[in-house]
């Protein structure tokens, strides 16, 4: 303050001389206040009023913001008005899907392949006798898929017969696949385009629909479950799922290995520590602990079955592994199988691979926008390559159901690539978006093409197969054997055993139904040197000597070419057979 010295009077401060900015201010007693005090009080009161007004405004705005935040939390906790119709439509679609699947898959009831009846024979023995084997009372280990046999037997407990059980189980598997692909699609893209297209590509694939009754559809369903759990990062559930995949077929271990390497189970990518810090070292240790825990869960789920198989069945691996490894069809192996089927079933094979050419579109995606797509593409691509290379190295014959997993993986990779382009939104032209919406119509061409080319509905043969006779032809022969031979008759068989044994209910003896027929082959593996021999001897540690299945009173001989029955002594009955694979064959029944 500028002015004269301040004097104290009357117990109050006073200014006796000019003190700018007030020209003549004097502070006296309580009754006589100067202009300065009045101005200060006025300004103070104004400031207090403004402060109180601001505080009330902030309180009001805070309350409004809190109400908005609570409403946002409430809205996030409950489905939005846009989500509810979509969810309701999805539930209705799934409800309608069940009977449609049963009706659709029932069209293939008369065209099940012969190997499907090997599974049905094992499932029937398990259901009625609680024994594991092709026939009751005889231990065999030629069922490649223990999980598929168990599920078929359980379904057979409620189905009218075992053939219906195979159709019902396939319907349940395809329904589960639709749900899994829908969840995966919703999780990654926010809609059902990918799930719908991937499911459509699976259910209309001529090759995959040629595997009803064997383990391929179950295998593909568990593959989808594994991918879904991988994206959701549910590591214990993923380990259990991969164990079930391995129980479906031993090569499921390949997907387990790919996931273990590429997905790093137990890794938390949201908290990546700085390189070289102590926290990074601790995090690496936790990643290894996560992988170890993941592997232990996987192994513990497999342990009960493999202990049973090793001790009771005499082998960790099914006998079909040793029967088919290194056993090509003349010079045809798994590696050359696609060229074989392209020459024999060109349309069916091409339509099974119809989405594979779209895989390169996945290279146009932005990994930062959709990191799950990048992970799934890597896992599926590496798995398909490892699977194909492994089978090519083992050198079995080109059985068509062996191609099911890589065909499904290729279709899903193509679908992922298309879905990624579909969700580019405004960057796509109207023509490109319309073309992507038209792809499902292109995918469904597979089965109508098969039905039209079959010449009959329902078709008598699977879209792709390698059987010597149709299901109806084998059924006729099997029922004749049941009606004209004694139940204790042992018949030596040369040919395909599944359908004939199922319908005849007679002991048709060959390598799949009698283990003594396989013993020389298994012992040949046992005598190998080196690490292969050591592992084989460990595998067969509990394998005992098998009782012979003979002697035989009757013979049933299948031939892929015509035979002059008049020149053969002892022939009682013959049947002509014909399929797309073997145009002119014959089955002979003869006495000893």
Q: Which two tokens stand for residue 441?
A: 């119509």
Residue 587 is predicted with a pLDDT of: 93
Q: What are the CA-CA distances from residue 283 to residues 265, 267, 349, 375 (Å)?
A: 13, 8, 47, 21
Q: Residue 537: which pLDDT band, with cuts at 50, 70 and 90?
A: confident
Residue 215 is predicted with a pLDDT of: 95
Check residues 16 and 295 and name the one with the higher pLDDT: 295
Helix ranges (DSSP H) in 107-192: 114-129, 146-156, 162-189
CA–CA gap between residue 32 and residue 80 (Å, rounded): 69
Averaged over 382-388, what is the pLDDT?
96
Residue with tokens 């012969």: 114
> What are the residues facing 587 on neighbouring strands?
558, 575
Over 80: is that where the pLDDT of 524 sits? no
Residue 404 is predicted with a pLDDT of: 95
Contact at 8 Å (CB) between 110 and 184? no
CA–CA gap between residue 200 and residue 444 (Å, rounded): 7
Q: Which two tokens stand for residue 19?
A: 């003190």
Over 70: is that where the pLDDT of 13 sits? no
Check residues 93 and 259 and name the one with the higher pLDDT: 259
Is-cis flag, bond preceding 458, omega within 30? yes
Contact at 8 Å (CB) between 404 and 220? yes
CA–CA gap between residue 498 and residue 124 (Å, rounded): 12
Averaged over 338-365, what is the pLDDT?
88
Write down the pTM of the prediction. 0.82
Percentage helix, strand, coil for the chain under 3-state DSSP, each rounded to 5:
65, 5, 30
Is-cis flag, bond preceding 21, omega within 30? yes
Residue 86 is predicted with a pLDDT of: 59
Residue 534 is predicted with a pLDDT of: 86
Over 70: is that where the pLDDT of 51 sits? no
Check residues 15 and 231 and name the one with the higher pLDDT: 231
Over 90: is that where the pLDDT of 61 sits? no
Over 80: is that where the pLDDT of 188 sits? yes
pLDDT tens, position by position, 222-270: 999 999 999 999 999 999 999 999 999 999 999 999 999 998 776 654 4
Q: What are the CA-CA distances from residue 584 to residues 139, 162, 462 (Å)?
A: 35, 30, 18
Contact at 8 Å (CB) between 442 and 354? yes
Over 60: is that where the pLDDT of 17 sits? no
Q: Which two tokens stand for residue 537?
A: 């001897």
Over 90: is that where the pLDDT of 566 sits? no
Share of the chain above pLDDT 70, in %: 78
pLDDT tens, position by position, 205-221: 999 999 999 999 999 99
Contact at 8 Å (CB) between 174 and 101? yes
CA–CA gap between residue 449 and residue 205 (Å, rounded): 11
């Amino acid at each position: 303050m500028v002015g004269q010295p301040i004097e104290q009077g009357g117990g109050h401060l006073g200014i006796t001389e000019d003190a700018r900015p007030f020209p003549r201010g004097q502070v006296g007693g309580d009754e006589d206040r100067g202009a300065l005090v009045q101005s200060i009080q006025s300004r103070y009161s104004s400031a207090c009023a403004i402060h109180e007004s601001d505080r009330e405004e902030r309180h009001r705005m805070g309350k409004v913001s809190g109400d908005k935040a609570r409403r946002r939390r409430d809205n996030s906790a409950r489905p939005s008005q846009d989500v509810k119709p979509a969810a309701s439509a999805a539930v209705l679609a799934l409800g309608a899907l069940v009977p449609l699947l049963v009706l659709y898959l029932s069209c293939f009831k008369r065209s099940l392949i012969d190997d499907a009846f090997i599974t049905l024979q094992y499932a029937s023995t398990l259901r009625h006798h609680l024994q594991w084997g092709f026939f009751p009372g005889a231990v065999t280990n030629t069922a490649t898929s223990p999980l598929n046999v168990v599920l078929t037997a359980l379904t057979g407990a409620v189905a009218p017969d075992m053939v219906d059980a195979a159709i019902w189980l396939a319907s349940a598997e395809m329904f589960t696949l639709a749900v899994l692909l829908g969840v995966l699609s919703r999780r990654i893209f926010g809609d059902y385009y990918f799930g719908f297209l991937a499911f459509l590509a699976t259910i209309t694939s001529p090759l995959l629909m040629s595997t009803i009754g064997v383990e391929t559809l179950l295998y593909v369903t568990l593959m989808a479950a594994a991918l879904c759990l991988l994206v959701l990062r549910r590591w214990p559930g993923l380990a259990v799922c991969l164990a079930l995949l391995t129980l479906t077929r031993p090569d499921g271990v390949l997907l387990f290995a790919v996931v273990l390497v590429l997905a790093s189970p137990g890794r938390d990518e949201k908290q990546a520590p700085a390189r070289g810090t102590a926290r990074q070292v601790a995090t690496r240790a936790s990643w290894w602990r996560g992988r170890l825990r993941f592997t232990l869960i996987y192994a513990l789920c497999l342990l009960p079955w493999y202990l049973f198989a090793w001790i009771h069945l005499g082998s960790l691996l099914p006998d079909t592994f040793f029967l088919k490894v290194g056993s090509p069809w003349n010079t045809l192996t798994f590696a050359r199988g696609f060229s074989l089927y392209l020459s024999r079933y060109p349309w069916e094979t091409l339509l099974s691979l119809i989405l594979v050419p779209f895989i390169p579109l996945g290279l146009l995606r932005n990994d930062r926008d959709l990191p799950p797509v990048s992970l799934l593409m890597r896992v599926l691509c590496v798995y398909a390559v490892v699977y194909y290379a492994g089978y090519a190295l083992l050198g079995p014959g080109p059985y068509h159901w062996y191609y099911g997993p890589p065909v499904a993986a290729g279709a899903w990779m193509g679908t992922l690539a298309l879905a990624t382009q579909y969700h580019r939104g405004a960057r796509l032209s109207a023509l490109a978006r319309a073309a992507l919406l038209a792809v499902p119509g292109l995918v469904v061409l597979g089965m109508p093409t098969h039905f039209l080319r079959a010449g009959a509905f329902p078709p008598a043969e699977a879209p792709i197969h390698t059987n010597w006779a149709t299901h109806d032809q084998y059924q006729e022969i099997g029922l004749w054997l049941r009606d004209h031979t004694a139940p204790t008759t042992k018949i030596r068989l040369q040919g395909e055993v599944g359908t004939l044994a199922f319908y005849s209910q007679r002991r048709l003896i060959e390598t799949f139904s009698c283990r003594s027929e396989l013993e020389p082959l298994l012992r040949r593996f046992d005598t190998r040197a080196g690490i292969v021999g050591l592992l084989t001897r460990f595998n067969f540690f509990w394998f005992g000597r098998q009782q012979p299945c003979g002697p035989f009173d009757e013979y049933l001989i299948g031939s892929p070419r015509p035979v002059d029955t008049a020149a053969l002594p002892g022939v009682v009955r013959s049947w002509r057979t014909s399929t797309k694979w073997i145009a002119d064959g014959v089955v002979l029944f003869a006495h000893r």
